[in-house]
Amino acid sequence: MIVLPSGVLFSEKERLAQFAIKNRLPTMFEQREHAMAGGLASYGPNLAELCRHAASFVDKILKGAKPADLPVEQPTKFDFIINLKTARALGLTVPQSLIATADEVIE
C-alpha cells in the first residue's frame, strides 16, 4: 500500500501502521515518521534539511533580496528508511542489498 502525504493520515500514522500490519499490507510512505510509527518503509525529502535550507532564503530576504528573484529549488536530500520490525511482523524478508541502501534501518 502506497500512502501519499496527507495531514490527516500523518496524524493517524500509528493507527494506519497498526491497520496495515493487522491486514498484512506492506506499506510505503513519504515521511520518515510513518516508518518510525510502524510503517514498512519510507522514502522522501529530508524535512529537516528543507527547513534549514528555507532559513537561508529568509536570511537573503531579510538582507534585501526580492523573493521573486530567488530561484525555485527542489529537494536534494532524500531519506530511505526500512522498518525491519514491521517486515518481520508481516513475514517479509528484506534483501540485504536493499538494507545496505537504506539511510536508516529500524530494528
What CATH number did the domain enclosing 33 receive?
Answer: 3.40.50.2300
Q: What is the mean pLDDT of the chain?
A: 93
Q: Give the structural domain span for 99.
A: 7-46+76-106
Provide the domain count of the chain.
1
Q: What is the reported pLDDT for 6?
A: 87
Continuous segment of H or E residues that includes residue 96: helix 96-101
Q: Distance between CA 76 and CA 106 in Å, rounded? A: 23
Asked if residue 97 belongs to a domain, the reply is yes
Query: Is the pLDDT reported for residue 48 higher than 90?
Result: no
11 found inside a domain: yes
Q: What pLDDT score does 7 carry?
A: 86
Buried b (16+ CB within 10 A) or exposed e, 54-82: eeeeeeeeeeeeeeeeeeeeeeeeebbbb
In a domain, 84, yes or no: yes
On the question of pLDDT at 47 being above 90, the answer is no
Write the pLDDT tens digit of every residue in 57-99.
999 999 999 999 999 888 988 999 999 999 999 999 999 999 9
The larger pLDDT score, comparing residue 47 to residue 38, is at 38
Angular region, 41: left φ>0, alpha ψ -120 to 50, beta rest: beta
